[in-house]
Chain A
C-alpha cells in the first residue's frame, strides 16, 4: 500500500493538511529497529514507555502478565493478539484506568503506575477506546474543544468570569477547526456527535485525542468497523502522527493494516508478550502462528467473522 492511496482524502482538507503533506509522511524512525533483538522484552534505543512485571488478575484469570516491554519513541508500535489476549486490559493498566496487581509502568523514565488517567493525559499520554466514546449530546466541535488541556475556563471560579478565558477559548476553537478540517469533518462541526456514523465517531475520537497535543497516542482498535476507504484515511492520519514526532501504540486485528503502517509489532496471547519484531518477520514466528491457530480453531467453532468482529460484540455488552 502506498501513500498515494490516502492522499486524496487529505488534500480535500484545508491548511493543516497542506502542512502535513509537505512532510510526505517520511518515517523519522526508519532504521531505528535494525539493531533491536526480535525477542519479547527487547530493549529499545529510546523507549518512551516501559512496563515491568505488570500483572493483573480477575478472580482466577490472569488477564495480563507482562514481564518487560519497551515502546520506542516516535515509532508506530502495533499490539496484536487473539481475542481475550489482554490487550485492552493492558491498555487500561498503562493509562491508569486500572491498577496492576503488581509491577510498574514508567513514562519517559518516571513511574506512572499510580498516576490517575487524567494526569497522564495532561502529561501527554492519550488513549482512545475500543468502544468508541462519542459524547452524543454535545456538538462535534464541543467534543473537539473538550480535548484541549490547560484550559483556564475549566476552573469552577474562573469559568464565571468570561474575559479570563474567552481569548483562550477562541484559540482552542481555531485549533479544533483546523483538526476537524484535517480529518474532513468540518461539515459536521455543529451536529450532535450522537448523529455521527460509526466510522465518523472513530475519526472524531482520534481527532479529539489529538487536541491534547500528546506525545504518546494509544489507539484501541481504531479501524474496527470502519469501511476500507475510511480505513485508508485513518491510516494516513496515524502515519501523520508519526511524522509529527508523536509515538503511537495501536491495537489491531487486521494483519494487512499492521504490516502497512507499523514499525514494530508486539504480540500478546493469554496475557503475556509472546513475540516482538518487525512486521515482516512476525508472521513467520512460530509462537505467533500457534497462538493465532488456536484462536482460529475457536473461531471456526463459533462463528466465522472478520477480525475483531466477535470480540466487538462481547465488548459492547460489557462496556
Chain B
C-alpha cells in the first residue's frame, strides 16, 4: 500500500535529467539564498534597542482579577526565580524586580506559593525566557487567574461553570486549529503530500506578525529602519496580523514554486517529497530560533487584557474578536470552496486528480493556490495564537494537534479538517477536567491512535483504493 498511496501521479516519470536538474538546483539555491538574505535583514533587529551601559532589571507584577470586585488584586509572597541569579518574593503591591546583566534569562514562578483560589492561567508559562537588552529593563508577565484552572487542580470538581469555560477555551483553540489544519488537509488532497512543514507556517505567521508589530514592514532590515510610517516603524497588531497572513501566503507560494513544483515535475517520489517537507520544517524552525532567539515574547499591544464575563464564561476581548474573525474566515473558506470556480477546482482535484485534469482544470495552478491559501490560513492562525505568546517553535508544539485534527476529519477534506479541529480542541480542553493540564495534548495522540484503529479513513474521509 506504500506504493499505492505514494505513486507519483504526475504521469510520465522523468528519470534523472542532468541538465534540467542542474537548472533546478540553481533555482533552489537562488531561493535558499534569497531566504538567507531576508534572514540577514532580520538580524538587524537587535541593534535597534538603544544601547546604554549598566545593570538592568527583570521586573513585573503578580496580580489577579477578583471575581467579586472585578478589580486587580496584587499577590504578595509569590516566589519568582531568575535562573542563575536568584529568587525574590513579591511585595505588598505584588511587584518584584531582580537586577541582572544584559543577557538571556529563564524566569520562573513557583505556583505552590500562589494563594489558594488562584492559579496560573497558562501552564506552559511557569517558565519564561527574558531577553534583557542593554539599556532596557525587561518586564515579565505571569498571568494569574482566580479559580482553579490547571496547575494544582484537576480535582476541582466538575462545575457547570468550569465546563462552560473549558468549552469556550476549546472552541477558541479549535477555531484557530481549524485554520491551521485546513491547508494541511488540502495540500494532501491535491498533491498526496503530507506536509510536515505546515506547522512552521503557523510559526511563520506568528513571528512575522510580531516583527511587523515591532518594526513595521521593512524596519526589520536594519538600514531601512529610518523609513517613516508603516515601513520603518511598528504597525498596530491589527494591521500586523493582516501583513502576517499575507506574508504566509507569499511564503506558501514561494515554497511550492521553489521546492515542490519542480519536484513534482521531475517525478520525485512522494516519499522523498515528504522528507523534503521534514527538512524544510527543520530548516525553518531553526532559522527562526537562530534569529528570534529562545524565549517567549508578546506583541506590543493587548498583552495583559482583562477578561470579561459572558454568563459563566470569561474571555478577553482580543480572544473574542479573534474567535469571531476566525468564524468569518472559516465561513469564507467554506463559501470559497463551494461557490467559486477555483474553490470547486480545488475540491475536484482533491477528489480525483486525473478526472479533474481531463476536464481541463489547470492542476498546477490549483495546487499553487492551495499552497497560498493554506499557508495564509495557517499564518493567520499563528498570528491569532500569538495574541497569547509568541514562540519560535509554536507550530511544532501544535503539530500533533493538527495531525490529530486532519486524521480525525479524514485526510484530504477541508470540512473534515474543520470538524476534526473543533473536536480536538474541545476534547483537549475538556480533558483537563480529568487529567493534569500539562498532559492535555496527549489526548490528541490518543484521539489519533483510536481513529487509526477503528476508522482510519476518518469521520468524513473515504477508504483508499486497492489493486
Contact = CB atoms under 8 A, between A and B. Distances in A.
Interface of A: 58-59, 88-89, 91-92, 97-98, 129-131, 133, 220, 313-314, 316-319
Given A91-B467, A317-B9, A317-B353, 18 more contacts: A58-B462, A58-B463, A88-B467, A89-B467, A92-B466, A97-B467, A98-B466, A129-B467, A133-B3, A314-B354, A314-B355, A316-B7, A317-B354, A318-B4, A319-B4, A319-B7, A319-B465, A319-B467
Nearest to B10: A317
Contacts, number: 30
Given A58-B462, A319-B7, A220 B354 contact: no
29 contacts: A58-B462, A58-B463, A59-B462, A88-B467, A89-B467, A91-B467, A92-B466, A92-B467, A97-B466, A97-B467, A98-B466, A129-B467, A130-B467, A131-B467, A133-B3, A220-B467, A313-B354, A314-B354, A314-B355, A316-B7, A317-B9, A317-B352, A317-B353, A317-B354, A318-B4, A318-B465, A319-B4, A319-B7, A319-B467
Contacts of B9: 317
Interface of B: 3-4, 7, 9, 352-355, 462-463, 465-467
Contacts of A129: 467
Q: Name which of A97, A314, A317 has the most chain B CB atoms within 10 A of its CB.
A: A317
B149 to A, nearest CB: 43
A317 B5 CA distance: 10
Q: Name which of A97, A133, A220, A319 has the most chain B CB atoms within 10 A of its CB.
A: A319
A191 B467 CA distance: 25
A179 B467 CA distance: 25
Give the 6 A-B CB pairs with smallest separation, nearest first.
A317-B354, A318-B465, A97-B466, A92-B467, A88-B467, A92-B466
A229 B354 CA distance: 31
Contacts of A130: 467
Contacts of A318: 4, 465
Nearest to A136: B3
Contacts of A59: 462
A130 B462 CA distance: 22
Contacts of A131: 467
Contacts of A313: 354
Contacts of B7: 316, 319
Contacts of A91: 467
B465 to A, nearest CB: 4
B361 to A, nearest CB: 14
A92 B466 CA distance: 7
A318 B465 CA distance: 7
A92 B4 CA distance: 15
B165 to A, nearest CB: 40
A220 B9 CA distance: 22
Nearest to A89: B467
Contacts of B355: 314
A133 B4 CA distance: 10
B392 to A, nearest CB: 40
A89 B467 CA distance: 8
A59 B351 CA distance: 13
A157 B9 CA distance: 39
B144 to A, nearest CB: 52
Contacts of B4: 318-319
Nearest to B3: A133
Nearest to A302: B358
Contacts of A319: 4, 7, 465, 467
Nearest to A95: B467
Contacts of B3: 133
Contacts of A97: 466-467
A129 B467 CA distance: 6
A316 B8 CA distance: 9
Contacts of B462: 58-59
Nearest to A135: B3
Contacts of A317: 9, 352-354
B411 to A, nearest CB: 15
A314 B354 CA distance: 7
A208 to B, nearest CB: 16
Contacts of A89: 467
A224 to B, nearest CB: 13
A129 B9 CA distance: 18
Nearest to A314: B354
Nearest to A130: B467
A92 B465 CA distance: 10
A58 B466 CA distance: 12
A4 B223 CA distance: 86
Contacts of A220: 467
A20 to B, nearest CB: 29
Q: Name which of A92, A98, A131, A318 has the most chain B CB atoms within 10 A of its CB.
A: A318
A316 B9 CA distance: 8
A314 B465 CA distance: 12
B359 to A, nearest CB: 11
Contacts of B354: 313-314, 317
A58 B465 CA distance: 10
Nearest to A313: B354
A133 B2 CA distance: 12
A174 B354 CA distance: 44
A313 B353 CA distance: 12
A122 to B, nearest CB: 19
Q: Name which of B7, B9, B465 has the most chain A CB atoms within 10 A of its CB.
A: B465
Contacts of A316: 7
A91 B465 CA distance: 13
Contacts of B465: 318-319
Nearest to B462: A59
A130 B466 CA distance: 10
Nearest to A127: B467
A131 B7 CA distance: 12
B13 to A, nearest CB: 11
A59 B463 CA distance: 9
Contacts of A133: 3
A59 B465 CA distance: 13
A280 B4 CA distance: 38
A153 to B, nearest CB: 24
Contacts of A58: 462-463
A206 to B, nearest CB: 16
A246 to B, nearest CB: 21
Q: Name which of B4, B462, B467 has the most chain A CB atoms within 10 A of its CB.
A: B467
B20 to A, nearest CB: 21
Nearest to A317: B354
A98 B467 CA distance: 10
A314 B356 CA distance: 11
A319 B355 CA distance: 14
A203 to B, nearest CB: 19
B284 to A, nearest CB: 31
A95 B28 CA distance: 46
Contacts of B352: 317
A310 B355 CA distance: 12
Nearest to B355: A314
Contacts of B353: 317
Nearest to A133: B3
